[in-house]
């Protein structure tokens, strides 16, 4: 089985393409474009609503099976996917507040993909912040 290289959101992946490597390239380009669209609007309330509306139209919010959460160390367009602690990067805390209070995703698992220094305190602090962001 042929393995091809594709780039998605600044990261290169090696994917076994089977009989249709062109389809995999097209799919990777689609995912890359959609992720960039979401990131562009993620830091404003209107952008968040727009991104979630696109998600609903293209995928369906019920098909979202997980989130990985991290702030962005580098700005949009840098081509780098460098993780930062929640609220300490270019996104800031508000997009996480909107997500934590979005009832459509209340039961969707979320994993922290943030710097772990110091371990395990960094994760505990991030979890405490995310919990504080939820409206009661």
pLDDT at 10: 74
Type and span of the H or E element at 38: helix 21-41
Supply 68's token pair: 């990985």
In a domain, 49, yes or no: no
Sequence-distant (≥ 6) Cβ neighbours of residue 9 within 8 angstroms: 31, 32, 35, 36, 81
In a domain, 91, yes or no: yes
In a domain, 29, yes or no: no
In a domain, 1, yes or no: no
Supply 127's token pair: 């979890």
pLDDT tens sequence across 18-67: 878 888 888 888 887 777 766 666 678 888 888 888 888 878 888 889 99
In a domain, 23, yes or no: no
pLDDT at 15: 84
Number of domains in the chain: 1
Domain that holds residue 99: 63-136
In a domain, 46, yes or no: no
- Angstrom distance (rounded) from CA 47 to CA 115: 26
In a domain, 33, yes or no: no
Token pair 């991030």 is found at 126
In a domain, 43, yes or no: no
Give the number of other CB atoms < 10 A from CB of residue 99: 19
pLDDT tens sequence across 87-130: 999 889 999 999 999 999 999 999 999 999 888 999 999 999 99
Q: Can you give the pTM of this predicted structure?
A: 0.72
Residue 76 has pLDDT above 80, yes or no: no
pLDDT at 59: 81
Coil/strand/helix, residue 93: coil
């Amino acid at each position: 089985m042929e393995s091809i290289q594709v780039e998605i959101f600044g990261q290169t992946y090696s994917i076994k393409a089977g009989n249709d490597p062109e389809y995999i390239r097209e799919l990777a380009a689609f995912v890359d474009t959609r992720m960039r669209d979401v990131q562009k609007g993620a830091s404003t309330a209107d952008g968040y609503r727009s991104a979630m509306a696109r998600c609903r139209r293209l995928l369906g919010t019920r098909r979202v099976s997980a989130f990985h959460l991290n702030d962005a160390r580098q700005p949009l367009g840098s081509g780098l996917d460098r993780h930062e602690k929640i609220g300490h990067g270019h996104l800031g805390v508000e997009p996480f507040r909107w997500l934590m209070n979005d009832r459509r995703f209340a039961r969707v698992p979320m994993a922290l993909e943030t710097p772990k220094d110091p371990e395990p305190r960094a994760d505990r602090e991030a979890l405490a912040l995310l919990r504080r962001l939820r409206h009661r």
